[in-house]
Structure 1
Amino acid sequence: MAIVEAARAKINLALHVRARRTDGYHELETLFAFVADGDVLTIEKAAEDAFAVTGPFAPALAGEGDNLVLRARDRFREAFGVRKPVAIRLEKNLPVASGMGGGSADAAATLRALARLHGVSSDDPALMRCADALGSDVPACLLSTTAIGRGRGEALMPIEGAPGVPVLLVNPGVAVSTPAVFGRWGRVDRGGIATDMSLLDAAGLGRNDLQSPAIALAPEVAAVLTLLEAQPGATLVRMSGSGATCFALFQNIAARDAAAERVRVTEPGWWCLETALV
């Protein structure tokens, strides 16, 4: 029987860079949130290992020998001592290198699916250790719930979310290098994220410290933000992660859908997705 796992897109409602660490990473505070849509991962027992990628963004992963999905599979096997072959199919619906944690979400979905396949509890600490070893965003994607992330992003504190809030995701079709964006951070600590208020209030008072560095590398990000900020009913507009995807939260579904239509007419080459917070 095939096991299907949603690999929901991650957005950073706020992302504060606090310091550069001696290990080369950066000390962060971020508001992780997840939306209803994303990639889809399917796993089933097989006679031999197999991995296939389908979906609109599959070509971007063609020939990638070190896919995070396969690294997650191998990490799970090492941690839990299982060697049975599996066939994995990834439906790649999200743009690659886009600030939505697509690869991290795919890896996390792989861990969850393998846990289900082999009867491992979803809260087994070894599962989170696997996630942490795979990347800074993978622990958050493993939980796929609203949380404050600290450290590299792996120190998580789940908080009350805002499920159902309409979201519009827009990507201008450019990929930006995460190391290059962090490299342009100005090394100024502008303070942490408020924790004594609701998620949306804290997000509104927050910022993305990587937004300006990303715009310096990819001016298209500024064009996306400008267009989203002009949409009636938009309550919060920001870039996610290190870019280039930007998001807008809306007062209602009708305002979001009308904005999506205007974006598609104005910039038909941009990727655009109507979704909602979960």
Structure 2
Amino acid sequence: MTNPSSRSTVLSTSLTVFAPAKINLVLRILDRRPDGYHNLWSLMQIVQLEDELSISLSDKHSSITLQCDDSSLKTDPSNLVYRAAAAVLEHSGRVIGLDLVLAKRIPMGAGLGGGSSDAAATIIGLNQLLNLGWSREKMARVGQALGSDVPFFLFAPSAIVEGRGEKVAPVRIKGSRWVVLVNPGFPVETKWAYQQLSISRTGVRPLSDVHITLGKASALSWESVLQAAENDFEASVFKAHPTLHRVKQKLLAEGAEAALLSGSGATVFGVFRDETAARQAQSSFQTEPHLKVYAVSTTSDF
């Protein structure tokens, strides 16, 4: 738990960082804050589906360039990787040229935190490449301005996340599991999901005693985590997208210990005891080629 979630390989003037996806094993949406955002309580875990980011120092220019193998992703200054690189240079006072190349593997708009993980990986990579010596707390403060999920990836692999996402308490989940991720190929907009949640519910359920107990522990068992698994977005998102509810039921029928929507969607995941069970469940979706299905591990060390 001593290292941020992204792993890397480094040369003297270049570095490659791997940015993992995340799942929400618990996601409770609580009261609305004065700033308009909602307080949340989530138990988050990274999984071994990773984007790959190459960072190179350039002596040919003093700007930031970004390339991506997914043409649907903008590579202009609005991109989270670009913004993260610019933020690191601003906070460190460095004026240098950077060439960034992003290989996308995590589906976009999927509830898997791909953009936030890419931003965190950029901060981690530049901290290492430029020998900045920033602590995880310092990197998280820079990342918080970029997106609510970014700080988590600096304290992963597992953590309780509260507030807007800025309060991150690392926790150890003993052992590992395999996870089958099923993405339907369409996104669910987070803003829309929050709007639907506000319309559909009559009040805010307080945090349960089970979740409060989880939040006080420094180490958890998978059994205790999966018994507490829930996602407040499921009812409204499943109502609008019945296919996602069908995917959840199929994962459970295939032997998942738990199945859940991740984030606000649209990915649904099932947790399995071992790789064999996960691969078997993955193969059950072969007749549905419009779905993107991954079987990945939740190893505790990246």
- Return the TM-score normalized by structure 2: 0.85
**Partner residue in 2 for 1:242:** 264
Look up the equivalent residue of 1:180 and give its one-letter code. W
Shift of 1:126: 2.9
Contact persistence 2:66–2:76 (CA under 8 A) = no
CA-based RMSD: 1.7
Q: 1:133 aligns with which of 137, 145, 151?
A: 145
C-alpha separation between the residues in 2 aligned to 1:159 and 1:199? 11
Aligned sequence identity (%): 32
Shift of 1:24: 1.1
Look up the equivalent residue of 1:241 and give its one-letter code. G
Look up the equivalent residue of 1:220 and give its one-letter code. T
Instruction: Give 1:202-241 correspondences, 5 Å limit.
Output: 202-232=225-255, 234-241=256-263
C-alpha separation between the residues in 1 aligned to 2:92 and 2:82? 15
Q: Does 1:275 align with 2:296?
A: yes
Q: Deviations over 1:121-150 (max 9, x none)?
A: 252543221111111100001223200001
Q: Deviations over 1:176-216 (max 9, x none)?
A: 11011011222422424232662531342231001112223
Name the stretch that deviates more: 107-116 or 177-186: 177-186
C-alpha separation between the residues in 1 aligned to 2:295 and 2:225? 23
**Partner residue in 2 for 1:86:** 98
Shift of 1:16: 0.8
Shift of 1:62: 4.3
Shift of 1:268: 1.5
**Partner residue in 1 for 2:41:** 29
Contact persistence 2:159–2:170 (CA under 8 A) = yes
SS at match of 2:284: helix
Q: How many residues align?
A: 273
Look up the equivalent residue of 2:293 and give its one-letter code. C
**Partner residue in 2 for 1:72:** 84
Q: Does 1:260 align with 2:260?
A: no
Instruction: Give 1:140-159 correspondences, 5 Å limit.
Output: 140-159=152-171
Look up the equivalent residue of 2:254 and give its one-letter code. Q
Contact persistence 1:176–1:218 (CA under 8 A) = no
Shift of 1:21: 1.3
Q: 1:42 aligns with which of 47, 54, 66?
A: 54
SS at match of 1:42: strand
Q: 1:101 aligns with which of 97, 113, 118?
A: 113
* CA gap 1:228/1:60 in 2 versus in 1, 3 angstroms: farther
Q: 1:52 aligns with which of 67, 83, 92?
A: 67
Look up the equivalent residue of 1:219 and give its one-letter code. P
C-alpha separation between the residues in 2 aligned to 1:262 and 1:205? 26
